[in-house]
Structure 1
Amino acid sequence: MFLKTHKTASSTILNILYRFSEKHNLTVALPYGNEPHLGYPRCFHSSYVEEFKTLENKFNIMGNHLRFNWQQARVRRIMPNNTFYFSILRHPALLLESSYVYYKTFSPAFRNSKDVNEFLSSPWSYYNLTEKKNIYAKNNMWFDFGYDNNAQYDDRYIQFGLKNIEQIFHLILIADFFDESMILLKDILCWDLDDVIYFKLNVRSQYSIQTLNPENKEKVKEWCALDWKLYKHFNNSFWIKIRERMDLKRLYKEVDLLQKRQKELMETCLFEETAIEHYQIKDKNMKPFQAGHARILGYNLKQDLDNKTLNICKKMIMPELQYTAHIYNSQFPFKKKKILV
């Protein structure tokens, strides 16, 4: 069970999980009907999962966006008792900048400011505690784990949350060390290297990235104090888990192998050397969803690939909404999911 947090490279991990599920003919807990998420931003309920009554406790993988219920009972109705729980976090300053651009037109707190630096210069001038769509503007990771993103900073409350997360989740990855995270995940799950190979998905164009000034980078730690505490705690535990399982020499030897294999696949699959602007994508079915002021990059595949290679490469670059629909239609062929991109 992967808790897919927002703006943390979680779409790339979901692609990894989707490919693994197809490789091993596994059953994925997918959003009901044409919904893209599992009820987000409402707290998760089992009814948000397609066929939850007939497939209860028979799902192998769960990874679409949901707001976790830290009491966990509702997820336990969906997933077997021996489920492995993991998630991913990102430095709050980088996350907030990404959220600002991505949700600029959706979140009132962002909408009324010129740019992310103006917002952070005086966040309370733009932020309304009662506005539900402002969840992306303050402690969004804390919210995704099921807690109150507007809660007052209180050490006992924070320790309560951290302890609960540690009791439920077996592993918390760190997006800022993504390749190291993939090696640790592979090691813990006893997967092969090719199981965690990835192409970056849902990545923004350089034209839609805003630069936080040093003062505002520090301000984020105060504005998103709950996220900052969450990130610091699990960044520390991440490296403790690494040291428990391998030394740094082995870690970076495997990271090097991962990057070499990734480069090989990119040279095999891609027409261009790297990700391209969305308007340059030739296959309309492979265009990623464009949100807010973000410009999401995608890929073109080479034209002369054999069928086996084409299938591998196509899954590597498939955007999240399209892949979700593909998995859904494979599992429930008589229902057919339609997702507007």
Structure 2
Amino acid sequence: MFKHVLVLLRYRRTLFSLVVLLLCGGLLMDGELLLLTSSSNSGSFLNRSQKYRLMSTVPVTCSPRTNIAFLKNHKCASTAIQNILFRYGYKHNLKFALPEKGNFFGTGLDSFRAEMMLSSTLNKLQPNIFAIHTKWNHIEVKKVMPTNTVFFTIVREPIALFEAFYAFSRAKKRTGLTLEQYIREVPTNQKRENKAGLFHYNTMAWDFGMPEEKLNNLSDVWNMVMQADEQFGLVMVVERMEESLVLLADYLCWELSDMLVLDLNSLRNKFKKPLRQELRNILQKKLAPDYLIYRYFLKKFDQQVEAYGRDRMAVAVSRLRDMMAVLMDLCSFIKKNAPQLAGKYRPSSNKVEGFKANGDMCSLYTLPELSFLSLLRQKQRKEITIHKTNTSQPPG
């Protein structure tokens, strides 16, 4: 008996995690948080097709969406959202729209064209998920996606986005200007150039597809916002991330457990330097197009939360937090600065944070974008080869 007590004490952390997990209704298997429910016949774990739908987050009348296009706006927590899509697609053997190399369709200065994807050897099968950086062109994206594709994106408070993008894009090194000098000296109509690493004012308007010559015309931006409102069924908000994840689960008819995600590609604190109010005032005027986009979709987001139900939302957010706490404990995620990580788990920029996990079971949550893309390319090449072999064989 005494030996059993010692064993229990030794593994008290694991036992505590399992107890909490049982209370929260989940179990991590094969890198996925599976959900539990009580049954009159047994208390066994349910298979994936029998997952309990959390707090009516997913209507029982809908089916999971598998054809999805995500406009990946710069510095809008979009890498974290991309990770959710990558994990889900990888788990369910979905096909991805992938560039031959890198993480962009095009240069970022030119709008997406269907041939950017169709010319790639990685895209011989129609994709289910589009989640790659590109300057958006809705008509061209629709050309490469199934007809029942759903569209969504995410926005962020413009000054916070601008500050983060300045640090992340190494704009000081590229332009020779400090952040204050850039705000004071660079006009909004200055042409975007590759040497600035795409950094400039009104990044959201640019990513949404605004032509450069119309970027600072608020009437044209407003027309684009009206089009985007019709095209995107959900526009998430970085500052309301937990609610955004709940709405995303509802929109895609996925489990709430599919929304568990780490704060990937987040700028390290040492590179965050708050602006003085004077500079914020100047910048706010220069970012008028982005503020038009942000304020419109923030108001729309509030309406969607209201339609979802405030009480129902509070319950779902609480459940999401519980599951995230359990996942953090089971995987023993440790946040590290990028230079402290090695191999495939090291982010491409030294200015961001990454994560180390306990074992391969949790590794997909921690994979940086470029490493995950390499994994998907490898998998997709194999699938294309198998498909080509099967279709080239004569019928038996």
Give CA-to-partner distance per residue, 1:233-282, whole Å, 9 cap, x none: 111111111212x222221221121122112111111253xx1112322x
Q: Note the C-alpha offset of 1:189.
A: 1.4
Larger mean CA deviation between 251-260 and 321-330 belongs to 251-260
Correspondence list, 1:160-239, <5 A: 160-239=223-302
Amino acid at match of 2:326: E
Distance 1:265 1:158 in 2: 41
Q: Note the C-alpha offset of 1:24.
A: 1.4
Q: Secondary structure at the match of 2:183?
A: helix
Correspondence list, 1:229-268, <5 A: 229-244=292-307, 246-268=308-330
Stretches of structure 2 that go unaligned for 5 or more consecutive residues are 1-68, 386-396
Stretches of structure 1 that go unaligned for 5 or more consecutive residues are 337-341
Correspondence list, 1:298-317, <5 A: 298-302=354-358, 305=359, 310-311=360-361, 313-317=362-366
Q: Note the C-alpha offset of 1:142.
A: 0.6
> Is the contact between residue 73 and residue 153 of structure 2 (CA under 8 Å) also seen in structure 1?
yes
> Is the contact between residue 173 and residue 238 of structure 1 (CA under 8 Å) also seen in structure 2?
yes
Q: How many residues align?
A: 313
Amino acid at match of 2:106: G
Q: Note the C-alpha offset of 1:184.
A: 0.6
Distance 2:80 2:107 in 1: 19
Report whether the alignment pairs 1:37 with 2:104: yes
Q: Relative to 1, partners in 2 of residues 1:192 and 1:296: Cα closer, same or farther, differing over 3 Å? A: same
Distance 1:285 1:169 in 2: 33
Report whether the alignment pairs 1:119 with 2:182: yes
Report whether the alignment pairs 1:286 with 2:345: yes
Report whether the alignment pairs 1:277 with 2:337: yes
Report whether the alignment pairs 1:330 with 2:383: no
Distance 1:183 1:77 in 2: 29
Distance 1:190 1:154 in 2: 37
Give CA-to-partner distance per residue, 1:7-32, whole Å, 9 cap, x none: 0000000000001101211111111x
Give CA-to-partner distance per residue, 1:43-99, whole Å, 9 cap, x none: 1122322347732xx3111001011114x1x21221011110111110100000001
Q: Secondary structure at the match of 1:333?
A: helix
Q: Note the C-alpha offset of 1:319.
A: 0.3
Give CA-to-partner distance per residue, 1:103-143, whole Å, 9 cap, x none: 124885xx3222x234223433x983364555421111111
Q: Relative to 1, partners in 2 of residues 1:23 and 1:78: Cα closer, same or farther, differing over 3 Å? A: same
> Is the contact between residue 174 and residue 181 of structure 1 (CA under 8 Å) also seen in structure 2?
yes
Amino acid at match of 1:35: G
Distance 1:106 1:217 in 2: 18
> Is the contact between residue 85 and residue 129 of structure 2 (CA under 8 Å) also seen in structure 1?
yes
Q: Note the C-alpha offset of 1:225.
A: 1.1
Q: Note the C-alpha offset of 1:208.
A: 1.2
Distance 2:222 2:171 in 1: 34
Name 1:16's counterpart in structure 2: 84
Report whether the alignment pairs 1:54 with 2:124: yes
TM-score (norm 1): 0.85
Distance 2:371 2:312 in 1: 36
Amino acid at match of 1:17: L
Distance 1:52 1:324 in 2: 12
Distance 2:193 2:239 in 1: 30
Q: Which has the larger radius of gyration?
A: 2
Q: Secondary structure at the match of 1:39?
A: coil
Name 2:201's counterpart in structure 1: 138
Q: Relative to 1, partners in 2 of residues 1:127 and 1:159: Cα closer, same or farther, differing over 3 Å? A: closer
Distance 1:271 1:251 in 2: 27
Give CA-to-partner distance per residue, 1:298-329, whole Å, 9 cap, x none: 11222xx4xxxx33x10000000000110111
Distance 1:2 1:60 in 2: 11
Name 2:147's counterpart in structure 1: 81
Name 2:14's counterpart in structure 1: none
Amino acid at match of 1:54: K
Distance 2:328 2:267 in 1: 18
Larger mean CA deviation between 252-261 and 319-328 belongs to 252-261
Q: Relative to 1, partners in 2 of residues 1:40 and 1:145: Cα closer, same or farther, differing over 3 Å? A: farther
Cα RMSD (Å) of the superposition? 2.3
Q: Secondary structure at the match of 2:214?
A: coil
> Is the contact between residue 140 and residue 149 of structure 1 (CA under 8 Å) also seen in structure 2?
no
Q: Relative to 1, partners in 2 of residues 1:150 and 1:90: Cα closer, same or farther, differing over 3 Å? A: farther
